[in-house]
Amino acid sequence: MVGHRRTTIASPPRPGAAILTAAFFATASLLLLWAWEWRDVLLPAGWTDNEWLLWLFAFSPWAVSVQFAIGVVAYRLSSPAPPEALARIASELGGAGFVVIYALCASSVIYHPVHLGLLMALSMALVMIGAQSSSVVNRLLTRPALLYIGTISYSLYLFHFITPGLGFTGRFETFDGGAAAAYALNFLFMLALAIALATGLYRLVEVPGRRAIRAAGDRLLGIRRTPPIVGSQGATAE
């Protein structure tokens, strides 16, 4: 019996979704600016202007929603993919933005997390727009080692704080070449330890947990998923 291949036709872009995203971004941004201008009224007792600025633009859910909206806009601009030349320029600009931002942080030109978060979000948006291009940034980001770090990144993000206490926690009286080497080796040791910990959590907790949550959601919603197709190598994608 000859099987039939099911062809999925991509739905055309919906302008209403783009308009809704832009409206949300504009509204959230205006509300944040309004909350800053009216800080004399909204400021909690005992707070300074800097504390209100830090909470409002860096830690509050409204500030995070603005960064999320930047990502949504970038996704909309990248699907369907823009012309290769334009996508490559966007990707290279985003990658250069990361380098420049970190250089400005190292030189104390950028020091406030509000500015850092917004600039990093904009640079990441440019990288997303050019994600399907043949840029140098994409070739670097698709290296196997970086792809692996991306795979375990959620577990690494949640539990990396455990490892610094397991390394060298002392202090050198004088910062010389020996101290710099010791700090560098300690950093590499803690990084390797964090990756090992994240790998174990990813395989033993995150993947089984995701499968259990997905199965429970499917049962709750009455969804029946098609079994994954086994490739020629006999492996399926997670």
d(CA 149, CA 151): 5
Structural domains counted in the chain:
2
Residue of 13, 117, 8 lying closest to 56 (CA atoms): 117
Whether 1 shows a pLDDT value over 50: the answer reads no
Residue 192 lies in a domain: yes
Q: Are residues 51 and 76 in the same domain?
A: yes
Residue 155 CB burial class (10 angstroms; 0-12, 13-18, ≥19): buried
Whether 195 shows a pLDDT value over 90: the answer reads yes
d(CA 136, CA 144): 15
- Tokens representing residue 166 in the block: 């397991």
Identify the weakest region by mean pLDDT among 20-34, 90-104, 180-194: 20-34
pLDDT > 90 in the chain, percent: 32
Determine the average pLDDT of the residues in 71-92: 88
Residue 5 lies in a domain: no
Domain span including residue 197: 143-223
Q: Are residues 109 and 190 in the same domain?
A: no
Q: Are residues 48 and 19 in the same domain?
A: yes
Q: Are residues 157 and 76 in the same domain?
A: no
pLDDT digits (tens, 9 = 90+) for 98-111: 999 999 998 888 87
Q: Are residues 107 and 168 in the same domain?
A: no
- pTM of the predicted protein model: 0.65
Q: Are residues 72 and 179 in the same domain?
A: no
Q: Which residues contact 63 (CB under 8 A, 6 or more apart)?
A: 32, 56, 57, 114, 117
